A = this chain, B = another copy of it.
Amino acid sequence: MITENQYFENNVKSLGYHTSEGKSTVGVINPGEYEFGTSNKEIMHVIEGELIALLPNTTEWQSIKAGQSFEVEKNSSFKVKANAQTAYLCQYR
């Protein structure tokens, strides 16, 4: 089954699936700024576009471009900004 998820008034949408290593989603983020909470460790990969992320316990926004990734520990929150529609892969591992 491929699950459909919508967040932030449809400005973030994702499709959920399972791999042998755990759950993943691929999604698209519209231009804007969003704050996400984690209940599991997340590995976020930018597939196309660019995210500007403010990670837990940091004070500087950093650019994550296509092909790059960042990790967020469980039970934390992080912010991302996008200036253009950006595709991502999120691995819950």
Q: Report copies per complex.
A: 2
B4 touching A13, Cβ below 8 Å: yes
Q: Which residue of B lies closest to A11 (CB)?
A: B2
A17 within 8 A of B: yes
Whole-angstrom distance between the alpha carbons of A87 and B45 in the complex? 13
CB of A73, distance to nearest CB on chain B (Å) = 21
A interface residues, tally (CB under 8 Å): 26
The digit string for A11-39, where 1 denotes a CB below 8 A from any CB of B, is: 10111011110001011101000000000
Contact call B85/A18, Cβ cutoff below 8 A: yes
Q: Which residues of B contact A84 (CB under 8 A)?
A: 19-20
Given the complex, which residues of B lie within 8 Å of A85, measured CB to CB?
2, 17-19
| 13 CB < 8 A contacts A-B | A2-B85, A4-B4, A4-B13, A15-B26, A15-B28, A17-B28, A17-B87, A19-B48, A19-B49, A19-B85, A24-B48, A26-B26, A48-B89
